[in-house]
């Protein structure tokens, strides 16, 4: 009984300026239904705000939703900020409209998984479980 108290904690954040948070909310809800504790931060988060929230909430996973095309500018900044907090084990996932040619670069930077439109939320939940087990 005591053991099962260890819940997977996920921060869902929307960096940058686009205001489309439908996807982020759908994922948040789906991860809730997969038994995870999801902290939703809302729109227009700066890299500093995301790193700070991740630190204060001590999350296992950060899910970023970027639909603005600014992922190549935002992702490195977010990764640096998170590294600066000292959260070294946190796994970062990215969802949104990401062109094929950018994916290898983002993975190389340290993004754990990338999901485009049409991804099953079950896939995301099981990838998260695998990543942190």
The residues binding other proteins (CB under 8 A) are 1-2, 5-7, 9, 28-29, 31-42, 48-49, 52-53, 55-58, 85-87
Which residue, 42 or 99, is less far from other proteins as judged by CB? 42
Q: How far is the CB of 57 from other proteins (least distance, A)?
A: 6
Q: Which residue has the tokens 């819940």?
A: 7
Q: Which residue has the tokens 């489309």?
A: 20
Which residue, 91 or 106, is less far from other proteins as judged by CB? 91
Q: How far is the CB of 2 from other proteins (least distance, A)?
A: 5
Which residue, 89 or 101, is less far from other proteins as judged by CB? 89
Residue 112 in tokens: 């754990």
CA atoms within 13 A on the CB side of 33: 9
Which residue, 33 or 130, is less far from other proteins as judged by CB? 33
Q: How far is the CB of 71 from other proteins (least distance, A)?
A: 22
The residues, any chain, with a CB within 8 Å of residue 13's CB and separated by 6 or more, are 24, 41, 45, 49, 50, 53, 62, 63, 64, 65
Q: How far is the CB of 38 from other proteins (least distance, A)?
A: 5
Residue 25 in tokens: 């909310």
């Amino acid at each position: 009984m005591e053991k099962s108290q260890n819940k997977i904690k996920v921060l869902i954040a929307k960096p940058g300026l686009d205001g489309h948070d439908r996807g982020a909310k759908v994922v948040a809800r789906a991860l809730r239904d997969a038994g995870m504790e999801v902290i939703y931060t809302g729109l227009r988060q700066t890299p500093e705000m995301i790193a700070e929230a991740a630190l204060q909430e001590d999350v296992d996973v950060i899910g970023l939703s970027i639909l603005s095309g600014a992922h190549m500018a935002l992702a490195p900044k977010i990764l640096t900020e998170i590294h600066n907090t000292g959260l070294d084990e946190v796994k970062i996932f990215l969802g949104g409209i990401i062109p094929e040619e950018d994916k290898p670069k983002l993975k190389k930077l340290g993004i754990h998984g990338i999901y485009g439109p049409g991804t099953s939320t079950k896939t995301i939940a099981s990838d998260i479980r695998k990543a942190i087990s």
